[in-house]
Amino acid sequence: MEISIAAEKLFSIGGLPVTNAFLIGFLVSVFLILLTQIVVKKMALIPRGAQNVLEVIFEGLLSFIESVLGDKAQARRFFPLITTIFLFILVSNWIGLLPGAGTIGLTHLKDGQATIVPFLRSTSADLNFTIALSIIVVLTIQVSGIMALGIVKYGKKFFVSPFHKPYGLGTIMGLLELVSEFAKLLSFSFRLFGNIFAGEILLIVMLHLVPYFIPLPFLFLEVFVGFIQAAVFAMLTLVFLKMAMMEGAH
């Protein structure tokens, strides 16, 4: 049993080390594109099968986004980002739970001992992905805030003159707010990574301790956690977007 915090390298293409997490990320993307294309191409007025499921997800998400943003046009503008985050994280989280995660893979020798580099590793259990996604999200939040309020007004949220009403207190609060914008980056990426990675390790450990039945509740738990983490990431993105586009309360 070998637990590696980093995603393991399978092979490399032209200098890019392809890790199992990246491979899964790519496959999840292909899966989502194919799934939506199949549904979109066969879209019928009376929904059936997969179309029903996707419609429920899309309609639910759209109405939720609309209720948070309070504006229909804005809801449609941010719908793609929120939905893609949710679907991508959800599917990649659940793929890590499939049987074979951690057991099927390339063998490779390490310190004279044969170990397995598994093919399946949830993309969310790779810091490269979570940090990349966090940076995309945080940048989107800042850009949306600036576009909605204008750069001066948006900047005033963080840089408050100490000679106005709360006298100095506002300045400190503003600076704290600025720090929290950077903290978002860390909290976003490490929350997702930590939860999913810990879940995978938990499953591996349980499987090694008691191979039958006992790991089952933990598997259910991880299915739940996978959904919750996807929802949390998407919702926090949405809420932060809304907060960035609102005028400062202080």
Residues at the site binding other proteins, with contacts judged by CB under 8 A? 4-7, 15-17, 19, 22, 25-26, 29, 32-33, 36-37, 39-40, 43, 45, 54-55, 58-59, 62, 76, 79-81, 83-84, 88, 123, 126-129, 131-133, 135-136
With contact defined as beta carbons under 8 Å apart, do 121 and 20 qualify? yes
Q: Compare residues 13 and 109 and give the one whose CB is closer to other proteins.
A: 13
Least Å from the CB of residue 14 to other proteins: 10
Q: Compare residues 39 and 196 and give the one whose CB is closer to other proteins.
A: 39
Alpha helix stretches (DSSP H) within the chain: 20-41, 50-69, 72-95, 127-149, 151-155, 169-209, 215-245
Q: Quick one: which H or E segment has residue 12?
A: strand 9-13
Tokens 């509740």 sit on residue: 217
Q: Compare residues 41 and 165 and give the one whose CB is closer to other proteins.
A: 41
Q: What are phi and psi of 229, to 5 degrees?
A: -65, -40
Give the separation between CA 130 and CA 145, rounded to whole angstroms. 22
Least Å from the CB of residue 61 to other proteins: 10
Q: Compare residues 130 and 154 and give the one whose CB is closer to other proteins.
A: 130
Q: Compare residues 2 and 247 and give the one whose CB is closer to other proteins.
A: 2
With contact defined as beta carbons under 8 Å apart, do 134 and 188 qualify? yes
Q: Compare residues 154 and 188 and give the one whose CB is closer to other proteins.
A: 188
Least Å from the CB of residue 114 to other proteins: 22
**Amino acid at the residue 187:** S
Least Å from the CB of residue 37 to other proteins: 6
Least Å from the CB of residue 25 to other proteins: 6
With contact defined as beta carbons under 8 Å apart, do 62 and 77 qualify? no
The closest of 248, 131, 121 to 197, measured between CA atoms, is 121
Least Å from the CB of residue 32 to other proteins: 7
